[in-house]
């Protein structure tokens, strides 16, 4: 255990606290095995500026603070061991144009530390600046890669990776929505073609119209061309319902892209309590509310990392919204199937009742009715899985504001 008197040496002349409190803090630091500066700052609310001023006065040298924006030359970081640097209490931070290497050190006067620096970089020249123990730790964690949860600079790389992952998934969702929009357009063409076929059938079968076969066949051919042109698009999207991505697949992949929250976001201080929703996607939407709180980083120079975390949460919210839009696009496509099926069935029933009974008329009407029923069933399979999501849809900000104003 480090002697409290040794810990007190840099801070005693600065009168940071009353002598008895300073001795008490030194004893606590020695007993717990943590730096005295951390105890003074965290538990006795001594400002970092005052601590650095005391250290500058004691060691008669300049001070330096952690800053993630420092352009530390990569050649200074080669073969450095983080654990060894943490134990010795130093880190290379700057290399001047004249070759002078600036070293941030917990104790710039320590001969063992200076010897270790020379063995790492050669005879020098060097400039030693005093730094708080926490700043040394942040330099090591930032510039010597550590695992998620400890890293700083490399954390932004991890967060950027997850933002790219979510962006790629949102792009895929947008492609799915585009395919579904094409299917709805194809169904609109099919309904138009069906209308043309019915008109031509009326012209050919109705009394008084049989004298204009050219017009009737022209309308029939136009209708069949519209149906045949749109049918492949419909069938392509129809087949996609039997393979991924189905409703559950969309939700599960969206949840997987949000798994970064466990490693990069801290919600221990969040006290938001919400009612548990029934569907998985709604629960994911509510989960993001816990991570959307602004927690200011320590030190303040980690603002870029903090902003990267906020960007990732916003990207996660866009991902959830994109999943909702895709699911509702599937629902709209299902409703388009149902509308087309109702059109087919209604026309088939109308044709069967309007024209005189006959094999051709009965067969045509029956085929149209069957196609209509199949389309309605198919549309229901697309729409019904989304029905449960509708009741669980989280309120948007605009809806919440509208509710508050009313």
SS3 state of residue 371: helix
Supply the pLDDT for residue 333: 82
Alpha helices by DSSP H, listed for 206-302, are 213-240, 247-257, 261-264, 280-291
Beta carbons of 32 and 7 less than 8 angstroms apart: no
Give the integer Cα–Cα distance in Å for 318 and 117: 48
Token code pair at residue 78: 């080669």
- The 3-state DSSP class for residue 300 equals helix
* Helix or strand holding residue 127 (H, E): strand 126-130
User: 187 φ, ψ to 5°?
Assistant: -65, -35
- 154 and 126 Cβ atoms separated by less than 8 Å: no
Cβ 230 vs Cβ 187: under 8 Å: yes
Q: What band does 403 get if pLDDT is binned at 50, 70 and 90?
A: very low
Q: In the predicted model, what is the mean pLDDT of residues 229-244? A: 70
How many Å apart are CA 379 and CA 337, to the nearest integer?
A: 5
Q: What pLDDT, on the 0 to 100 scale, is given for residue 334?
A: 84
User: Contact, 73 vs 100, CB < 8 A?
Assistant: no
Spatial distance between the Cα atoms of 199 and 203, rounded to a whole number of angstroms: 6
- pLDDT range class, residue 256, cuts 50, 70, 90: confident
pLDDT surpassing 60 at residue 325: yes
126-130 β-sheet, strand order: 90-95, 101-105, 126-130
Considering only residues 7 and 248, tell me which one the structure prediction assigns the higher pLDDT: 248
- Residue 256's Cβ-count burial label (10 Å; 0-12, 13-18, 19+) is exposed
Residues in the chain: 406
Q: Please state the domain extents for the chain.
A: 1-60, 62-144, 153-405
* Each residue's pLDDT tens digit, 177-199: 888 888 888 888 888 888 888 77
Residues sharing a CB contact under 8 Å with residue 10, sequence separation 6 or more, in sequence order: 54, 55, 58, 59
CA–CA separation, 173 and 19 (whole Å): 65
Percent of the chain topping pLDDT 70: 71
**What is the spatial distance between Cα 20 and Cα 12, in angstroms, rounded to a whole number?**
11
Distance CA 26, CA 70 (A): 32
Q: What is the pLDDT of residues 371-399, one digit of tens each?
A: 888 888 888 887 877 776 655 555 444 33
Cβ atoms within 10 Å, residue 344? 24
- Classify strands 101-105 and 126-130 as parallel, antiparallel or unpaired: parallel
Fold of 62-144: GMP Synthetase; Chain A, domain 3 (3.30.300)
Q: What is the pLDDT of residue 402?
A: 36
% of residues, the chain, pLDDT over 90 = 1
CA distances from 320 to 254, 263, 284 (A): 7, 19, 8
pLDDT at position 201: 73
Give CA–CA dist 10/55, Å, rounded: 6
Predicted pLDDT of residue 128 = 92
pLDDT digits (tens, 9 = 90+) for 122-179: 887 899 998 888 888 888 877 775 554 444 455 677 778 888 888 888 888 888 888 8
Q: In this structure, what token pair is assigned to residue 286?
A: 């509510």
* pLDDT for the residue 243: 53
Q: HSE on the CB side for 273, CA within 13 Å? A: 1
Pairing of the two strands 90-95 and 101-105: antiparallel
């Amino acid at each position: 255990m480090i002697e409290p008197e040794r810990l007190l040496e840099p801070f005693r002349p600065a009168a940071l606290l009353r002598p008895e409190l300073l001795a008490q803090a030194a004893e606590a630091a020695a007993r717990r095995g943590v730096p005295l500066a951390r105890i003074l700052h965290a538990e006795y609310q001594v400002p970092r500026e005052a601590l650095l001023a005391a250290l500058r006065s004691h060691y008669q040298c300049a001070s330096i603070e952690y800053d993630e924006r420092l352009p530390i030359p990569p050649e200074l970081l080669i073969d450095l061991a983080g654990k060894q640097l943490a134990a010795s209490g130093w880190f290379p931070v700057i290399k001047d144009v004249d070759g002078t290497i600036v070293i941030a050190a917990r104790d710039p006067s320590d001969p063992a530390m200076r010897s270790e620096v020379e063995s790492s970089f050669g005879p020098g020249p060097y400039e030693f600046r005093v730094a708080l123990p926490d700043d040394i730790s942040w330099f090591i964690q930032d510039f010597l890669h550590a695992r998620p949860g400890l890293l700083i600079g490399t954390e932004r790389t991890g967060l950027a990776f997850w933002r790219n992952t979510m962006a790629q998934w949102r792009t895929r969702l947008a492609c799915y929505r585009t395919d579904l929009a094409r299917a709805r357009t194809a169904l609109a063409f099919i309904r138009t073609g069906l209308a043309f076929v019915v008109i031509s059938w009326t012209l050919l079968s109705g009394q008084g119209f049989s004298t204009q076969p050219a017009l009737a066949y022209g309308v029939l051919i136009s209708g069949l061309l519209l149906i045949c042109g749109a049918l492949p698009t419909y069938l392509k999207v129809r087949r996609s319902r039997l393979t991924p991505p189905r409703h559950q697949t969309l939700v599960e992949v969206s949840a997987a892209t949000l798994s970064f929250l466990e490693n990069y976001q801290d919600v221990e201080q969040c006290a938001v309590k919400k009612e548990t929703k029934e569907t998985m996607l709604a629960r994911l939407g509510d989960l993001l509310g816990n991570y959307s709180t602004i927690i200011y980083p320590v030190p303040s120079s980690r603002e870029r990392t903090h902003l990267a975390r906020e960007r990732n949460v916003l990207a996660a919210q866009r991902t959830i919204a994109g999943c909702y839009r895709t699911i509702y696009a599937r629902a709209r496509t299902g409703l388009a199937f149902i509308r087309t099926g109702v059109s087919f069935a209604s026309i088939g029933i109308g044709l069967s009742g309007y024209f005189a009974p006959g094999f051709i008329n009965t067969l045509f009407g029956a085929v149209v009715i069957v196609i209509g029923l199949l389309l309605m069933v198919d549309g229901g399979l697309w729409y019904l899985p989304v029905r449960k999501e509708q009741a669980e849809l989280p309120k948007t900000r605009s809806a919440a504001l509208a509710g508050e104003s009313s």
